[in-house]
């Protein structure tokens, strides 16, 4: 008889899905959040709005945050796209990475305190190279994963040539559906 325990998280429920209304998070043909906009539109109130449900449910926990822009995916029906994320346990790049050494890019938040969303929004809208991507699309789907379900992959950033730790691979024997804890949908 095999008495070894497996680190699986047996969860019979679907991930928490929260809709957040944030009318101030609007996009225009020009990126108003860029570092060189005159003046740049601040992202702090937008980040605070998005963080409310994440802080409410995950404060003090070790999580991975992955924000995506649904407009950059081949989908015309966002509700159907969210159903696909739930069924897969993540967006298409989370579960079908073209690089077999990792499954997704995400931000690890140990002992989550509710301050990471602003940094992630700035990475998308304020700083290069992402701020140069036009048309601008909001980061409108935020996935929350159980950090213990993923292994952190350290690598040398190809452009900056510094050691980076924002890639994650699902631990063997675990299911991405069980690792996905919540989805926060903006607007």
Can you give the pLDDT at residue 116? 92
Average pLDDT, stretch 130-143?
91
Please provide the average confidence, as pLDDT, over all residues in the chain. 88
Can you give the pLDDT at residue 12? 56
pLDDT tens column, 59-111: 999 999 999 999 988 888 999 999 999 999 999 776 666 778 899 999 999 99
Using alpha carbons, select from 11, 163, 180 the residue that is nearest to residue 89: 180
Contact predicate 124/67, CB 8 Å: yes
Can you give the pLDDT at residue 13? 59
Q: What is the dihedral of CA 121, 119, 108, 68, to 10 degrees?
A: 10
Can you give the pLDDT at residue 109? 95
Indicate the DSSP class of residue 129: T
Q: pTM of the entire structure? A: 0.88
| CA–CA dist 22, 45 (Å, integer) | 9
Bigger pLDDT: 11 vs 113? 113
pLDDT tens column, 29-44: 888 999 999 998 999 9
pLDDT tens column, 3-24: 333 334 445 558 999 999 999 9
């Amino acid at each position: 008889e095999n008495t070894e325990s497996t680190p699986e998280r047996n969860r019979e429920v679907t991930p928490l899905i929260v809709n957040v209304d944030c009318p101030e998070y609007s996009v225009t043909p020009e990126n108003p959040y860029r570092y060189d906009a005159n003046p740049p539109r601040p992202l702090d109130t937008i980040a605070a709005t998005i963080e409310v449900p994440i802080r409410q449910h995950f404060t003090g926990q070790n999580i991975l945050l992955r924000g995506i822009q649904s407009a950059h995916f081949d989908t015309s029906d966002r509700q159907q796209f969210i159903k696909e994320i739930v069924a897969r346990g993540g967006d298409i790049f989370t579960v079908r990475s073209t690089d077999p050494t990792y499954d997704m890019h995400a931000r690890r938040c140990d002992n989550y305190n509710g301050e990471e969303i602003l940094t992630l929004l700035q990475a998308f809208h304020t700083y290069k190279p992402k701020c140069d991507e036009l048309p601008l699309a909001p980061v409108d789907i935020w996935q929350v994963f159980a950090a213990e379900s993923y292994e952190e992959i350290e690598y040398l950033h190809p452009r900056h040539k510094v050691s980076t730790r924002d890639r994650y691979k699902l631990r063997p024997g675990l299911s991405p559906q069980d690792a996905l804890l919540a989805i926060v949908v903006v607007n």
